[in-house]
Structure 1
Amino acid sequence: MKRPVFLPDNFILALVGAIVLATVLPISGAPAAVYGHITTAAIALLFFLHGAKLSREAVYAGATNWRLHLCVLAATFVLFPVLGLAGGPLLSDWLTPELYTGLLFLCVLPSTVQSSIAFTSMARGNVPAAVCSASASNLLGVLVTPLLAGWLISSQGSAGFSLDAVASIVLEILLPFGVGQIARRWVGAWVSAHPKLVKFVDQGAIVLVVYGAFSASVNEGLWQELPLQALLLLLLVSAVLLAIVLGVTFAVGRRFFAREDEIVLLFCGSKKSLASGIPIAKVLFAGGALGAVVLPLMIFHQIQLIVCAVIARRYGRAADRATSGPQPSAGSGS
């Protein structure tokens, strides 16, 4: 029996568990320093595996559909940031500076890979194009996300971000990713043959970072300083942000693309990657601000999974009805 779409999966439950554990038993002092080195190593391993896993051939093969890919990248790295900046005057009096920083950071993240492709396949869309778009988004995101984050967040005067931290991207993210790309010819087949191990490293590294981030935030008094109305507003803002982007990508896709490519734009252009976002945030943001900064991403991630799963199933059922054709009525016959 399949899991109902509205229930969180085990990964989401693990993230919630990490937050609860950090709230009840936050790590601090010397153990926190050792734990920080462990998470740094886990992040480096994560991006090494991403570099070894992402196929440059898939990107090259789908590059001919340049209009579709440009639209996906525009939605990911232009539309989202514009919406995030536009909401600043409305949200500044309600969200804490750290939460708004997290919202801006969310807006500059790349698209997801696995779920974008999975939802495109479920909706009977153009899967090769989705592989190309999602992979290109993640390849660019490793470099573009820190640069956009530095520009947007610094221009807003938000706390918790240091431009000096961008240098850490080279050692903790870009270097492992590049080494993974170089090593792909030797380890790529092995990585592809062990998807469960790669998934475990992906999700395990994220859970480690979330526990450490929220431990630091709890030690800094996160829950005492975070108003309940700010959290509720964050839920509403995340839902509205997703609805606007889904509406724009759907309208553009329906107007300018065939149905299969419309689906790619809808799912690849509206998603934000938790797998890339939390490790990058760990490098860019220091101290107790990190927990509040990643909170908008965690909320948005769960909302996008639920909403996009429902949409993908509806697309899939419509495609099945279209291919099966009209069914004869019960009373018909020769």
Structure 2
Amino acid sequence: MSTPKGGLLARLKIDWYLVLIVGMVVAASLAPARGAAGPVFEWATKIGIAMVFFLHGARLSRDAVMAGLTHWRLHLTVLACTFVLFPILCLGLAALPNWIVPDPLVTGIIFLGCLPSTIQSSIGFTAIGRGNVPAAVASASASNLLGIALTPLLVSLTLHQQGGISLSSVEGIVLQLLVPFIAGQLMRRWIGNWVKDRAKLLSYADRGAILLIVYTAFSGAVVGGVWAQVDAFEIARLLVICAVLLAVVLAATAYGSRALGFSKEDEIAIVFCGSKKSLASGVPMAGVLFPAATAGLAILPLMVFHQIQLMACAVIAQRYAARAKEAD
């Protein structure tokens, strides 16, 4: 009995990468990039964003996507959860009174609802729970691919009146997100194997770029007075809000997939692909969509939600796996 418990506890631990992300927030709070250093970090961030999406394009396997594309009902269900259910729930949260949802966090919560699903953790938890892995690969990949266009569109529709982004952001989206992604896809034929062989090394570069983006975003937020807008009590409320949001989506994906007649394997894929939000895509997108003074605050709900979703889904995946063993 000790081995399964150890494995579960290992999955419940806060990963060191998230600790580093929090460390970047602390570093930006104590020593933000200001003055002459500000433009330098902003340009480095733009290059980092382009690199992240170039690597996404180079890594995304067309064969893996095509393997599950025929299961259109499952994919439409996942996309509906990601880009319809989530935004509606987050808009509902944003409409709650200020004593429940603090005003400074409204933009970040709405932005969270507009993001695509994760890829690695969605597929990983689907595999642990013994679900439909090929369908999970296709759904998670499609979510990220469509998210390049759908997330900015949804953010524009939901936040435009609040000054969240402007039409000038379209140029940044194309140049920093779409062009590098397409370039990665086009070059995959020549560099795909090279990227695959150096996946671990390139993952460090990928994650390092995201750390830089977090630091730059929060530097701008600190200079703009972010910690004067958010206190410890509001962070505590954010934890509760994210936990409730995740619980509602998990219940909706599980019971909804059963009501729609999906198999247990498909249900597992829908639950894990439809309930997640991508930190890897969300942080770079925030750097493009929001001004420097608000980008840091905009990704705060995403950072909290990301850790909660990993912890909760680790437990759920273990339970699905246990049920599958009992059925066998």
Normalised by the size of structure 1, how large is the TM-score?
0.92
1:230-245 alignment runs, 5 A limit: 230-245=234-249
CA contact (8 A) 2:165 2:289 kept: yes
> Which of 162, 185, 192 is 1:188 aligned to?
192
1:210 partnered with 2:214: yes
Q: Deviations over 1:127-163 (max 9, x none)?
A: 1110000001011001111011101112xx3244223
1:23 partnered with 2:29: yes
2:200 is aligned with what amino acid?
K
Larger radius of gyration: 1
2:324 is aligned with what amino acid?
A
Equivalent residue, structure 2, for 1:116: 122
Determine the C-alpha separation between the residues in 2 that align with 1:170 and 1:176.
Answer: 9
Query: 1:212 and 1:91, CA in 2 relative to 1: closer, same or farther beyond 3 A?
Result: farther
Q: Which residues of structure 1 form unaligned runs of 5+?
A: 324-334
Determine the C-alpha separation between the residues in 2 that align with 1:228 and 1:89.
Answer: 22
1:88-127 alignment runs, 5 A limit: 88-92=94-98, 94-127=100-133
1:248 partnered with 2:252: yes
1:4 is aligned with what amino acid?
A
CA contact (8 A) 2:169 2:288 kept: yes
Equivalent residue, structure 2, for 1:282: 287
Equivalent residue, structure 2, for 1:272: 277
Identity %: 51
1:111 is aligned with what amino acid?
S
Determine the C-alpha separation between the residues in 1 that align with 2:89 and 2:193.
Answer: 40
> Which of 293, 297, 319 is 1:292 aligned to?
297
Equivalent residue, structure 2, for 1:50: 56
Of stretches 3-12 and 64-73 in structure 1, the one that deviates more from structure 2 is 3-12
CA contact (8 A) 1:97 1:158 kept: no
Hey, which bits of structure 1, 4+ residues long, moved more than 4 A? 91-94
Shift of 1:322: 2.2
Equivalent residue, structure 2, for 1:308: 313
Determine the C-alpha separation between the residues in 2 that align with 1:229 and 1:321.
Answer: 44
2:122 is aligned with what amino acid?
S
Determine the C-alpha separation between the residues in 1 that align with 2:36 and 2:51.
Answer: 23
Q: Which residues of structure 2 form unaligned runs of 5+?
A: 1-5
Shift of 1:92: 4.3
Query: 1:75 and 1:303, CA in 2 relative to 1: closer, same or farther beyond 3 A?
Result: same
Determine the C-alpha separation between the residues in 1 that align with 2:223 and 2:40.
Answer: 17
> Which of 34, 38, 41 is 1:35 aligned to?
41
Determine the C-alpha separation between the residues in 1 that align with 2:252 and 2:195.
Answer: 36
Of stretches 264-273 and 14-23 in structure 1, the one that deviates more from structure 2 is 14-23
Equivalent residue, structure 2, for 1:152: 158
